[in-house]
A and B are shown apart, each in its own frame.
Chain A
Amino acid sequence: MKYRVLTALAVLGAPAAALMATPALAAPNEVNVYSYRQPFLVKPLFDAFTKETGVKVNVVFARKGLIKRLQAEGRNSPADLVFTVDIGRLAAVVKAGLAQPVTTPALTAAVPAALRDPGGLWYGLTLRARLIYASKERVKKGEISSYEQLADAKWRGRICTRKGDHAYNIALLAAYIGHHGEAKAEAWLRGVKTNLARKPQGNDRAQVKAILEGVCDIAIGNHYYMALMLNNKKQKPWAEAANIVFPTLAGKGTHMNVSGVMMTRNAPNRANAVKLIEFLTGKTAQGIYANANNEYPIDPSVKASPLLESWGAFSRDSLPLDTIAKHRSTALKIVNKVGYNEGPVTN
């Protein structure tokens, strides 16, 4: 019995030891990434980078908690860069004191000032617009043109959104606070909640699907989901059931969020990390983002994808991203206070 146990341990232990021997520490030609973005979305970019520079990109992907990991690992963290899908997490890393500034002439030239931290603590990589999807059948063109109108009584029982505390909705509400103040934002969110057709659930695409299903007439979603749905056999009918509207906020323009990148305070591969940021903000990578992911490039000289071009130009809300980041925690409290995720049932 004893020997059998020992044999079993040896058999299991050998490959485990081999696995563990894989060095987690910084090797000369690598760069280590903690990513909130799914691997299959960023892989083409990293592959292109490796091909161009010979630097290998190592990735850990998680939806939640990477900031905590960075915090816990402290000064010996192997991570060089953090990739996020919204401004909120960029701000959270800065707030936790885990970022270090990076400024190079190339970065300053490539990234417009509004889309980066003034001190170089973070850089936007792509832009995503938060749109209104309106039923082709049941909503006339021009019937809705602003976020403010979502609280109008005429939309009672006709709106679908994902959960209120999702980063994308929080950023929108934070922008609303930035323009109108906290009290008006709360009243607005109460109005939207009353207008909901169902309890908030699913992702952005699921809301557009609900339009096809007749559950609701209006949905809120990021712009690239339209492209994703059009490219997916099963989801194409969802996309075709809706028109997209570029709404205005405070009469200014459509709310935009960024996916971004920042360097960690103790990045062990600083030089390679700078190379990667420069690569991603450069024209080649911006082109890949634009065409593969259908996101709006941050570099104004790089063209958006043909599909996005076909949607035409629109005005963008110019509220600085750090203002949005600042109002996030208030926005989350409003979501809880209003009980947004409970859905349309008033209590």
Chain B
Amino acid sequence: MSRLQASTIDTNTRAFRRFRIDPWTVGAGAIATIVALPILTVFGLAFFPTENIWPHLWETVLPGYIVTTIELMAGVAAGTMLIGVSAAWLTTMCNFPGRRIFEWALVLPLAMPAYVVAYVYTDILEFAGPVQVLLRDMFGWSTSRDYWFPEIRSLGGAIIVMTMTLYPYVYLLARSAFLEQSSGVGEAARTLGCSAWAAFRRVSLPMARPSIVVGVALVLMETLNDFGTVDFFAVQTLTTGMFNVWLVMNNTGGGAQIAVVMLIFVVFLLVAERAARRRRGYHDTSTRPRRTIRFDLSPARKAAAVAICLVPVLVGFVVPAGLLLSYAIEFYDVSLGNRFPQAAFNSILLAALAAAAAVAIGLFLAYAVRLRKNNLLRNMARFASLGYAVPGAVLAIGILFPFGALDNAVDSVMRGTFGISTGLILSGTIVAILFAYVVRFLALAYGTLEAGLGRVTPHMDDAARTLNHGPAQALVKVNLPIIRGSIMTAGILIFVDCMKELPATLLLRPFNFDTLATYVYQFASDELLEECALGAVTIVAAGVIPVILLTRVMGQRRPDQEISIT
């Protein structure tokens, strides 16, 4: 058989394969549809409102919500980029004291729920907090009319809190991008007489740009779906507006309409992120072992580098975690209710199950898309990932309705046929919560694994197939071992996020069921920080261990580790 013939046959089979009905295509299609259900439900509610208040919203509050949301996103994007990129470059490319500690310490704020950080800083910076008390004592002021102090409960405060808890996404991605850059490139830059700064600006940064954009997109999705922080700081964003309309005004259609406005923001982010990834033509493909030659800094610059890395760790982790820990110790007996151990157990179990399920499903989707190269399938998978940017409570409502409908339909059939009522099978069980977590965080799994698989050359699969392995065997025997770093990364990120998840858990949970987040919330919602400290500390502790694991995984700098969204 000539080469020409072989390639023609190959093309034909591929074209044929795209339209084949097989377990991979059907399975992936089915999964994507099920996962997209909550989002489709929200769309459905938006377009068929019972009482249309869109004109009222548009004339009154909506433009303000949109402007504030854009301001918040711009601020957080700028802040996370600045901190994430500079810290990543310093820890990867420069030598300074404490560098090895900062490498992992900079990721720690990822374990802090943003709303808890918001509570803590309000506690510290408010009038009765230690900072203002000290200032008043020093200068003899007595009331707030005597002096000016920045208001933490403001747009600026929200930007700072979110920047400090979300920058690790940018840091992680930028760092892995810097690590992957061939030392040859760095050497070339230095041979050409580049200073450390010039090498950064002219070589490292442009090469890392796609990863940075991905990180910022992740950050902005988290910013969009945050409710706790903006609500506490009285910042009028689309999210708070949607809650107001949907759950306070009790107007489902209006709330869903605002949710659709938010989804437009998300789609914009996804397009930007796609565009950035498409231009990833710079990839270094050399397989020789890489050794980064780090720049030596002058003493003054060393000090600056330490400061740049230290501030985010202090502000984003050490101070809030320290204060919570001291409260937790002081108010130990108040906060340690008899339900606490059960809540901790529930949290860890749910988070672990959800991480396992999301990774398995994400892997299946990503591999099916890789196998079939079917655009419809790929777009369905991307659509299913929209859940990441939807606020948890909205997602929860999007889950309640299809689950309720399914349960009641099954019940009707069973009653009609056998005269037995099956009641609610899924609604109000932990299956509903698990489903919410998977829908919410599938994007992390799918994106990470898609990127991971993308780096495994198709020749590997071909080789496996030549050895008479089916696609499933090729996945298990060839691809899985290669991308196990990506699998770890995705699993850990999802685990940590599930530990922190509050609104969906609150609304979907069974009777008498608490996770650490809901346990904390019943006190935190009343601004009783001391009483909720122990729970919060446990959430953080349960997040810190995997986060440190994560940095170790990343530190092994295999080429397939990448966190990404679709």
A interface with B by C-beta (< 8 Å): 1-2, 8-9, 12-13, 15-16, 19-20, 22, 24-26, 32, 38-40, 58-69, 71-78, 92, 163, 165-167, 170, 198-203, 205-206, 209-210, 212-215, 234, 329, 332-333, 336-337, 339, 341-342
Contacts and interface: CB of A to CB of B under 8 A. Distances in A.
A215 B127 contact: yes
Contact of A1 (B60, B145, B476): B476
Interface string B408-450: 1001000000000101100111110000000000000000000
B511 A24 contact: yes
Given A24-B511, A209-B128, A15 B61 contact: no
B60 A78 contact: no
Contacts of B428: 24, 60, 69, 73, 78
A63 B525 contact: yes
26 contacts: A1-B480, A2-B476, A12-B349, A24-B423, A24-B424, A38-B525, A39-B522, A62-B507, A63-B506, A67-B250, A69-B427, A69-B507, A71-B404, A73-B404, A75-B408, A78-B511, A163-B234, A165-B244, A201-B234, A209-B127, A212-B128, A215-B127, A215-B144, A234-B530, A333-B53, A336-B56
B527 A202 contact: yes
Most buried by B among A22, A73, A165, A341: A73
Nearest to B350: A16
Given A1-B481, A64-B247, A329-B249, A76 B234 contact: no
Given A12-B356, A163-B234, A213-B143, A61 B522 contact: yes
Contact of B397 (A13, A68, A201, A214): A68
B60 A337 contact: yes
A61 B507 CA distance: 8
Contact of A76 (B53, B248, B252, B408): B408
B507 A16 contact: no
Closest 6 pairs (CB-CB, A-B): A214-B143, A72-B404, A201-B234, A58-B511, A72-B400, A213-B127
Contact of B404 (A61, A74, A166, A198): A74
A274 B210 CA distance: 62
Give the size range of B's interface with the partner. Answer: 35 or more
Contact of B349 (A15, A77, A198): A15
A60 B353 contact: no
Most buried by B among A1, A74, A212, A333: A74
A172 B19 CA distance: 62
A233 to B, nearest CB: 10
Interface of B: 53, 56-57, 60-61, 64, 127-128, 142-146, 151, 153-154, 233-234, 236, 243-244, 247-250, 252, 346, 349, 352-353, 356, 393, 396-397, 400-401, 403-405, 407-408, 411, 421, 423-424, 427-431, 476, 480-481, 503, 506-513, 518, 522, 525-527, 530
B563 to A, nearest CB: 21
Given A72-B397, A73-B427, A201-B153, 18 more contacts: A19-B346, A32-B511, A40-B522, A60-B428, A60-B509, A60-B510, A64-B247, A67-B250, A71-B400, A72-B404, A72-B405, A73-B407, A78-B423, A199-B234, A206-B527, A210-B127, A213-B143, A214-B143
Contacts of B509: 60
A203 B231 CA distance: 11
A98 to B, nearest CB: 12
